[in-house]
Amino acid sequence: MAFSQLGCKPKTTAPTQGMVEINLMQPVQNADWSTILELKGFVALASPEPFKMLSNILYADGKIITLDVDNDYEAIRVFDEKTGKYLYDIGQRTEDDDPEKGYNGVIDIAYNPDRKIIRLLSNGQLRFSDYDLNGKYQGSMKYDFYGMDLAYLGNDQWVVYNEWYANEKTGNHYLVFYNNKGEIINKALPYPKSQNGQAFDFTGFLMRSGNEVWLNVPFSDTVYSISGTQATPRYRMLDSVALNTGKSSTKVFGDGLSEEIFLEEGFFSNGRYLVFPYQRNLKLPLGIYDTKKNLFMDSRNLDKNKVFNKLFIGLDLYAKDASTFSMAIRQDRMLNILSQDDRNAWEAILPGLYDTAMGSTAAPNSLYLFFYSFKN
């Protein structure tokens, strides 16, 4: 498969009048997220070995699938959603180019609920590899470039964001759309071509929440909704540069000390509320935006006297379904958080959490997933 198969040049998606601008410089002070969020529960994943660099989490038919990567390492593990018990690995890493023997350089995974298939974006083999939920290999398809993120769009269509080693030949940060056979059906530039080649140290992130797929591109501060085979600008995050000049500056990797704001991986929407992590002044807060009231809140300005608010220190955000998102916290950080208050205080927030994490049987490799939904 080559890009020339398309027979047409990709088009840049034009801004729409419906795009919402969000001022990230004036968050609500001393907010209490317990008034808008419901903590629905938690599960501790009992991993057979410590997670190295958690890259993605999928939820499928009562199972939790994690992608864990590092240099010369990758593992796709399956856990029971209710108990957190480790069940099995899906496939294995291999140095062989034969996909039936395993995978290499998996950068992302996505789930097709229509076919109950997990698809791997395997850059080391330049292949999409498919597995069922029991870990059985189902087949693979070659592709011709290094992808970065993968998402399932529905109707047997997939989208890949092409970031790694982007240039004129490989695609210049295109969104590339595929059918289920791995055939290219379209490609689109989600932002002006003049920005291609900027900010290689950042990337774009695809995330599915409910029936929507989102793309956030850190150096343009714009979040796009992907529908069909196009990307539509929906939200623009305003920092001090944009507020003072009316324009977004061209952003490249720097020291992180300026007032410029960069989006991080993860974006969730339930229709009214948006949830997303971002970077500012070397800090990595979590932001929540209420589209109905036009209010922005971030985790740096929460009322920390409220026990509920102390859980928002992580940035690992994953959509569970259309109304619920999860946040991941490792065992060592969990212990630090829980030690700030006594058992009774935590029992009032989430029964069982304190004993699970602080008890003598707590697993040192545990990863805690907390599930949240909005109250209205």
Residue 10: inside a domain, yes or no? no
Helix, strand or coil, per DSSP, at residue 8: coil
8 A C-beta contact, residue 195 and residue 11: no
| pLDDT score for 242 | 73
pLDDT at 85: 95
pLDDT at 145: 72
Q: What predicted TM-score, i.e. pTM, was given to this entire model? A: 0.89
Q: In the structure encoding, which two tokens stand for residue 130, read together?
A: 């498919």
**Domain extent at residue 288:** 23-374
Pull the structure tokens for residue 65. 């699938």
| Structural domains of the chain, count | 1
Question: Would residue 4 count as lying in a domain?
Answer: no
Q: What's the angle, vertex CA 244, arms to CA 240 and CA 249, rounded to 5?
A: 70
Is residue 3 in some structural domain? no
Determine the pLDDT at residue 19.
Answer: 87
Residue 163 lies in a domain: yes
Whole-number pLDDT of residue 27: 92
Tell me the CATH number at 62.
Answer: 2.120.10.30
Angstrom distance (rounded) from CA 351 to CA 344? 9
Q: Classify residue 161: in a domain, yes or no.
A: yes
Residue 300 included in any domain: yes
- Within a domain: 116: yes
Q: Could you tell me if 256 and 279 are in contact, meaning their C-beta atoms sit under 8 angstroms apart?
A: yes
Q: Is residue 221 part of a domain?
A: yes
Q: Are strands 127-132 and 137-142 parallel, antiparallel or unpaired?
A: antiparallel
pLDDT for 192: 64
List the beta bridge partners of residue 224: 215, 233
Please give the C-alpha separations between residue 17 and each of 11, 150, 233, 276, in angstroms, as whole numbers.
18, 28, 9, 23
Q: 3-state SS of the chain: helix, strand, coil percent to 5?
A: 15, 40, 45
| Token pair of 374 as six digits | 């909005």
Q: What is the mean pLDDT of each run of 10 residues along the chain (376 residues)?
A: 36 59 91 95 93 93 95 92 96 88 92 96 91 96 84 94 59 79 85 57 75 80 87 86 67 53 86 90 87 94 92 86 94 92 95 90 87 93
End-to-end CA distance of the chain: 46
Q: At 245, which amino acid appears?
A: T
Tokens of residue 69, six digits: 């990567």
